[in-house]
């Protein structure tokens, strides 16, 4: 499967010390996850373009921006200009499959990687039509909207099924999982086939985020 990547989610960090918080985890991280929520697509408002710009100034790591927003196609160019390296859009925010493909193409046409996400209630089959057009697939293991939620184990069969499909069809994209992942429950997610792990409170709400990020990487080595 190759190298497994760690993507700390800044949703759980101290925003008054954003650059310092990123520095704490940078040595052991591959991506920085930015969760953008609009209070419409999900029942919470989080952060937007200025924070992406601030993250970009604070790190050379890959900035992985998840758009949990309605009508994401209106904002792609702005998030690219702000410094996103990957932009993830949700299947549930699209009118239909045709639009989903158009938005993924729009992201790639802007020179960044395109990711496609599905929420826990959404079956994997909704992602299958776009698998040839993405750089990253995201399986949500919580219902999006708030940080610090518990991991939903029903995500595991979905991850396994997608990993098998990737191997069978020869797809080469990141398989990212986001939601409720901590050191004490990451191993089943890795066994299922994830190769990008997003963790917010599981890193930033621990006593020593640097040490926690390091421990995640030590666990990853057993599955690489």
Q: What b-and-e string marks burial along 173-188, b requiring 16 or more CB atoms within 10 Å of the CB?
A: bbbbbbbbbbeeebee
- The mean pLDDT of 88-100, rounded to a whole number, is 97
- To the query of whether residue 178 is one of the catalytic residues in this protein, the response is yes
Residue in 35, 135, 174, 195 annotated catalytic: 35
Mean pLDDT of the chain: 96
Please give the full DSSP string across 6-68, using - where no structure is assigned: EEEBGGGS-GGGHHHHHHHHHTT-SEEEEEEEBSSSSS-B---HHHHHHHHHH-SSEEEEEEE
Residue ranges making up the domain that contains 143: 5-221
Per the annotation, the verdict on 35 as an active-site residue is yes
> Quick one: what percent of the chain has pLDDT higher than 90?
93
23-44 pLDDT, tens digit each: 999 999 999 999 999 989 988 8
CA-to-CA distance for 124 and 116, rounded, in angstroms? Answer: 11
Strand order in the sheet with 174-178: 5-8, 196-199, 174-178, 136-140, 113-118, 86-90, 62-68, 31-37
Whether pLDDT at 222 is above 90:
yes
pLDDT at 25: 98
* pLDDT value of residue 202: 96
Annotated catalytic residue within 38, 174, 178, 195: 178
Predicted confidence at residue 44, as pLDDT, reads 85
Count of structural domains, the chain: 1
pLDDT bin (cut points 50, 70, 90) of residue 125 is: very high
Q: What is the CATH number of the domain that holds 9?
A: 3.20.20.70
pLDDT, one tens digit per residue, over 45-55 is 888 999 999 99
pLDDT, residue 130, reads: 98
Kindly tell me the burial class for residue 126, based on how many C-beta atoms sit within 10 Å of its own C-beta (0-12, 13-18, 19 or more).
Answer: middle
pLDDT of 85 reads: 98
What pLDDT sits at residue 160? 98
Structure tokens at 115: 């990711």
The string of pLDDT tens digits covering residues 201-210 is 999 999 999 9
Task: State how far the Cα of 61 lies from the Cα of 33, in Å rounded to an integer.
Answer: 10
Model pTM score: 0.97
With vertex at residue 178, the alpha carbon angle to CA 204 and CA 206, rounded to the nearest 5 degrees, is 15
């Amino acid at each position: 499967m190759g190298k497994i990547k760690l993507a700390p989610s800044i949703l759980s960090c101290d925003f008054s010390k954003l650059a310092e918080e990123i520095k704490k985890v940078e040595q052991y991280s591959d991506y920085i996850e930015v969760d953008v929520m609009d209070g419409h697509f999900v029942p919470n408002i989080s952060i937007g373009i200025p924070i992406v710009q601030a993250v970009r100034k604070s790190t050379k790591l890959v900035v992985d921006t998840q758009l949990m927003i309605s009508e994401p196609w209106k904002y792609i160019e702005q998030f690219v200009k702000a410094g996103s390296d990957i932009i993830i859009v949700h299947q549930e925010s699209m009118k239909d499959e045709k639009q989903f493909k158009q938005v993924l193409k729009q992201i790639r046409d802007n020179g960044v990687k395109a990711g496609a996400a599905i929420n826990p209630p959404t079956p994997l089959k909704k992602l299958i039509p776009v698998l040839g057009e993405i750089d990253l697939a995201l399986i949500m293991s919580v219902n999006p909207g708030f940080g610090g939620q518990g991991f939903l184990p029903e995500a595991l069969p979905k991850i396994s099924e997608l990993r098998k499909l990737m191997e069978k069809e020869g797809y080469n994209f990141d398989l990212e999982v986001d939601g409720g992942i901590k050191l004490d429950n990451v191993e089943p997610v890795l066994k299922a086939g994830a190769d990008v792990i997003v963790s917010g409170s599981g890193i930033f709400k621990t006593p020593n985020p640097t040490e926690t990020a390091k421990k995640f990487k030590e666990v990853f080595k057993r599955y690489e």
